Amino acid sequence: MAYQLNEDLVLWLTEHALDLDQHSNQAQQILPRLAAANLLGLGIAPELGGAPNTTLQDAAWAVAEVAKHSLSAAFVLWAQRCFSTYLVLHPEAALSSSLISQAIAGEIAGATGLSNAIKFTGGIEGLQIQATPTAGGWVLNGYLPWVSNLVPGQFEVMVAAERPDLPPAIFVLSHADVGLTRNDDLALHCIQGSNTASIRIENCFIPTERLIAEDAAEFIRQVRPQFLTLQSALSTGVSLRCLEQVLAHKRATATTRATALDYQQRITAIQNQLCAGAVSGQFLNAPAKLFALRIELAKLCQDASLLELQTEGGACFLLGLRDQTQRRVREALFLPMVSPSISQLQAV
């Protein structure tokens, strides 16, 4: 189920794909362009400011469609949409209502800092942030080594924190909070335009109204299906673009075309299965099935990128001749390491 992107957005992504892959100079342009293309409210109820007559499937396929052109831009869309998903769980909160409308408009950059929490609930690692109660709120300390969509001077980030004698909780931190430091962008081999950096939290006071959920484990259980469904769409988009390139290639053999068509069918079916399962609730108490589908898509993405590489042939190894193919191969190799990584999901 393809989603039709705005032509202006497609042209801009096509022009800047390599730049977004390797540099940060266009990074601040991504979010406003996604907002102008009306992608940030897909699948969110109209009464919350979302796009009417759209579903999670529309949101996931929009992520995939953007990923066909630029994984950096798709990462921004994924992070922004996940951040809105977290807020939608508690729309009655004044903070959530305000932030949802700003996130959909692209006025704030929503950073999903919950990969650590998702790994924590899976028993993979401990929480990296601690919260200590104080008058009127909490004091947070900790470090997250890898967070995307940290647009300088504009981001809000969702984190999970340990609390003494209480369950871990979910908090929203803001770029302007005293004690929150956004470090320089990570030097990445791809997605350099996604405003991905580490954050350090030192004696950062967070008022009570920015505690979004009292029970982090239950919160993660609720958001995990949409989080991973939207994340899987990154692999879906990159792989489908690789296969489009293969099928359009004049030297593709009959065997190669048959393989590409088989991959297309399998990838589309898995993404639709993820969307359906996330909406129906079947993954809430069956995360293993969700993880297995995410793993399968990442593997198919690598297979699809190698099929494109093989079809293009030796030109891919001559500088300047097949830069976009090389970019997609890098993206496909990177996606299994996106947190929670494929090896971590396999372990769970």
Which residues, listed in sequence order, are joined to residue 201 by a DSSP beta bridge? Answer: 142, 180
In 250-274, which positions are buried (b, 16+ CB within 10 angstroms) versus exposed (e)?
eebeeebeebbeebbeebbebbeeb
Is the pLDDT assigned to residue 279 strictly greater than 90?
A: yes
DSSP letters of 181-210? EEEEEP--SS-GGG--EEEEEEEEEEEGGG
H or E element: which one contains 147? strand 137-147
Confidence grade of residue 92 (pLDDT, cut at 50, 70, 90): low
Confidence grade of residue 166 (pLDDT, cut at 50, 70, 90): very high
d(CA 121, CA 295): 18
Q: For 207-225, what is the mean pLDDT?
A: 92
Is the pLDDT assigned to residue 133 strictly greater than 80?
A: yes
Q: For 162-180, what is the mean pLDDT?
A: 96
d(CA 93, CA 37): 28
Q: For 266-273, what is the mean pLDDT?
A: 97
The reported pTM is 0.95
Alpha-carbon distance values, 106 to 38, 96, 216 (Å):
10, 15, 26
**Mean pLDDT highest for which of 40-49, 118-127, 207-216, 261-270?**
261-270
Q: Which pLDDT value is given to residue 120?
A: 83
Is the pLDDT assigned to residue 274 strictly greater than 90?
A: yes
d(CA 78, CA 91): 20
